[in-house]
Chains A and B, each alone.
Chain A
Amino acid sequence: MASSQILFAGFGGQGILFSGKFLAYNGLIAGKHLSWLPSYGPEMRGGTANCSVILSDTPVGSPIITYPDMLVVMNNPSLDKYEDAVVPGGKIFVDSSLIERKVNRTDVEVFYVPATAMASENGLDTLANMILVGKLIRESGVVDFSHVDAVLDKIVSARRQELKAFNKQALELGYNYVG
């Protein structure tokens, strides 16, 4: 059964929920079963935020992820909290500009991407999340990169169409990043 359980975690304001939404819409376009579950409440206003996305070829059971296959982390507390939950053989994507320590686990694949620094260097502040998503797509094959335009059409609001190009640029930076 092909099923991917992807957990995004970081601070509110880093685009955690948007990253999850991007993957969810990819799943929708690909005709997969999926769920997207955000954390909600005060953490949305500056605290920690996380978002669980499940993409599957069969109907999704619980939308709650206990043991993620893939973890994307954008702050220290999230790495501390979720590192041990990742399934053996799973993948962890770390924004190494924001998280200085290394992942302790040795039974998972780890990808360090200085996403925040890369975003900044390329005039893409606030799009570090999408750089990490680009890397995740490259390493996991969980979604087809060719759907990217169609997905961005759906989730970038009509009033902010100029953001589509920036998002795509960020995704490509991540996709092509070799750490």
Chain B
Amino acid sequence: MAEKVLMKGNEAIAEAALMAGCRHYFGYPITPQTELTAYMAKRLPKMDGVFLQAESELAAINMVIGVSAAGKRVMTSSSSPGISLKGEGLSYLAGCDLPAFVVNVQRGGPGLGGIQPSQSDYFQATRGTHGDYRTIVLAPDSVQEMVSLTIKGFELADKYRMTAMLLADGTLGQMMEPVSLDADKIVTFEKPWAACGTGMKRPNNIINSLSLIPEELEQWNLTRFKRYDIVEENEVMYEEYMMEDAEICLVSFGITARVSKNAIAEARKMGIKAGMIRPITLWPFPKKPLLAATEKVKAFITVEMNMGQMVEDVELATRCRRPVLSCTRCGGVIPSPDDVMGAIRKACELGGDAK
């Protein structure tokens, strides 16, 4: 195993992208993800790559579309308001069946919001912008996982010809942890569909999301959703933490899952059997383990840095068989283990009889 190094989350994502073979980055500065952009600005020119600071997020995501359409690995990164601007491009990427890797290091919102960490783009990431489409959403909870999920994200994007989004937050982006930069096996894919010149050797390739024939457009969507079904079947990732005997199940992703682990340790000291299911993919959502957990736990608590955006996904996954509470802070405030303990106590009082 390679020697561990200390890296900020933002820099670790950038380094992992380079490990994954990404040589094209387009971005625009925004706190709290700017270290990623700066890292790429420093590294890419020295490895014959392309770093370009675009005139806007709109331009950046469309440059991503260009490189992706030409068949090469490419990424962009931003923070919440910037991701809104990229929203148009995300829909086009989906409509054109193009792979892309997009990073959102979230900050508080809505509007210009703040610059402190947040998870308030959960809806945006898992639901997206206009049209029927899906985005693979990866939610790391450590700097090490930012590396592994970045490499995985490029692979999934190419494999399914869709966007993989790494959904982090200001805390994960800014914090340093020891990280091992062992390259997992880098999986790549042939791209015979790419628009990079016919070479007069094949019919021309057309990358396009437009159809003026409703039945045709419907068929494109149906085909795409068949692919999404395979993603849902094969690519769900989650962590079960102390769930063997758990009666209270926390559901949390990213940095709040780390806070939740502290709270679980506290709860267990007090004799409360708490555990956690941590979705690592927010889409596809870990529905099966959550449904299975309804057989043994009394209540679920989502722990999030937003107004409880994941609650309804948990309610749907568990088919409301058990109460779903939420422990949330927002606007850039991080819930403390005490906040989470308060929610755990409240869940215990419910007694878990609600059926």
Contact = CB atoms under 8 A, between A and B. Distances in A.
A62 B175 contact: no
B262 A37 contact: no
A67 to B, nearest CB: 9
A27 to B, nearest CB: 8
A60 B177 contact: yes
Contacts of A28: 4-6, 178
B339 to A, nearest CB: 10
Contacts of B176: 21, 24, 35-37
A71 interface: no
Interface in A14-65: 21, 24-25, 27-28, 33-38, 40-41, 60-64
A66 interface: yes
A41 B336 contact: no
B1 to A, nearest CB: 12
A107 B320 CA distance: 48
Contact of B32 (A35, A40, A63, A66): A40
A37 B258 contact: no
Contact of A66 (B4, B5, B336): B336
Contact of A62 (B5, B32, B174, B258): B258
Main secondary structure of the interface of A (DSSP, over half): mixed
Given A62-B259, A64-B336, A66-B336, A41 B175 contact: no
Contacts of B334: 64
Contact of B6 (A25, A33, A40, A63): A25
A37 B174 contact: yes
Interface string A139-163: 0000000000000000000000000
Contacts of B177: 34-36, 60, 63
Contact of B31 (A36, A40, A63): A40
Interface string B58-80: 00000000000000000000000
A63 B262 CA distance: 10
A106 to B, nearest CB: 24
Contact of B175 (A25, A27, A63): A63
B336 A38 contact: no
Given A34-B178, A66-B336, A41 B31 contact: yes
A64 B259 contact: yes
A64 B49 CA distance: 36
B338 to A, nearest CB: 7
Main secondary structure of the interface of B (DSSP, over half): mixed
Among A38, A40, A60, A66, max chain B CB count under 10 A is at: A40
Among B5, B6, B262, max chain A CB count under 10 A is at: B6
A40 B170 contact: yes
B337 A36 contact: no
Contacts of A27: 178
A57 to B, nearest CB: 14
Contact of B259 (A34, A37, A41, A61): A61
A64 B254 CA distance: 13
Contacts of A41: 31-32, 115-116
B265 interface: yes
B261 A62 contact: yes
B148 to A, nearest CB: 15
B120 interface: no
B262 A61 contact: yes
Nearest to B334: A64
Contacts of B259: 61-62, 64
Interface string B225-252: 0000000000000000000000000000
B265 A61 contact: yes
A96 B68 CA distance: 58
Contacts of A34: 177-178
Contacts of A62: 255, 258-259, 261-262, 337
Contacts of B261: 61-62
Nearest to A27: B178
A64 B31 contact: no
A40 B172 CA distance: 12
10 contacts: A25-B6, A35-B176, A36-B175, A37-B171, A41-B32, A62-B262, A63-B171, A63-B255, A63-B258, A66-B336
Given A37-B174, A40-B32, 19 more contacts: A24-B6, A24-B176, A25-B6, A28-B4, A28-B5, A33-B178, A35-B176, A37-B171, A37-B176, A38-B174, A40-B170, A41-B116, A61-B259, A61-B261, A62-B262, A64-B171, A64-B255, A64-B259, A64-B334
Interface of A: 21, 24-25, 27-28, 33-38, 40-41, 60-64, 66
